Amino acid sequence: MTYRFPAREGFPPLKLTWYDGGLMPSRPDELAPGVKMGDTYGGALYIGDKGKILTGSHGANGLRIIPEEKMKAYQRPAKMLPRSIGHYDEWIAACKGGPPAGSNFDYAAPLTELVLLGCAAIRSGEKLEWDSANMRFPNAPEADQYLRRDYRAGWTL
């Protein structure tokens, strides 16, 4: 599934390709023989103008620049962001009045929307354009049926 985001607020346009269900991108030429892409649960491959970065699922196993020579030459910046105490511990602390979890609704809701819009595109079999202000697909109104569920009487939210 391919998402395309226009340029915004000083950021260039972005193309995001999502693989799922056992599908994977082609093995990068820069990856040394015998080195596995991702981990048991998947992973991510970031392709930029200056190189490629691999990581396990959800950032596990750290980020690795490939080829390995580029990783060895890389100078890590000083840590500036607070480190997580763990996904579940953050959630419990937030429930008890602590700081918001790193994956709070301000972050998680747009991410969930993105993934679910991809599901609608797969179900419709169409290239969809999303009008977030009006919550509809202006180029494929027939795909709007995948945005909401019709509940049986007595089972509404």
Domain end (from 56, 76, 96): 76
Token reading at 118: 């991809």
* SS3 letters across 18-65: CCCCCCCCCCCCCCCCCCCCCECCEEEEEECCCCEEEEEHHHCCCCEE
**What pLDDT is recorded for position 145?**
94
**What pLDDT is recorded for position 81?**
85
Query: 33 with 67, same domain?
Result: yes
Number of domains in the chain: 2
* SS3 letters across 91-120: HHHHHCCCCCCCCCHHHHHHHHHHHHHHHH
Domain end (from 36, 53, 76): 76
Query: 72 with 90, same domain?
Result: no
Can you give the residue range of the structural domain that contains 37? 1-76
**Coil vs helix vs strand at 3:** strand
What are the pLDDT tens digits along the chain (157 aa)?
899 999 999 999 999 998 887 888 999 999 999 988 888 888 899 998 888 999 988 777 788 999 999 999 999 999 998 888 988 999 999 999 999 998 888 888 988 999 999 999 999 999 999 999 999 999 999 999 999 888 888 887 7
Query: 15 with 69, same domain?
Result: yes
Other beta carbons less than 10 A from residue 131's beta carbon: 10
Q: Is the pTM of this model over 0.85?
A: no
Domain end (from 25, 51, 76): 76
**What pLDDT is recorded for position 83?**
85
**What pLDDT is recorded for position 62?**
82
Query: 57 with 96, same domain?
Result: no
Tell me whether residue 150 is in a domain: yes
Q: Is the dihedral of CA 149, 107, 91, 98 positive or negative?
A: negative
Q: What angle do CA 116, 120, 124 make, to 5 degrees?
A: 170
Residue 76 backbone phi and psi in degrees, to 5: -70, 140
Exposure on the CB side of residue 128, measured as CA atoms within 13 A? 27
CA separation for the pair 109, 114 (Å, rounded):
9
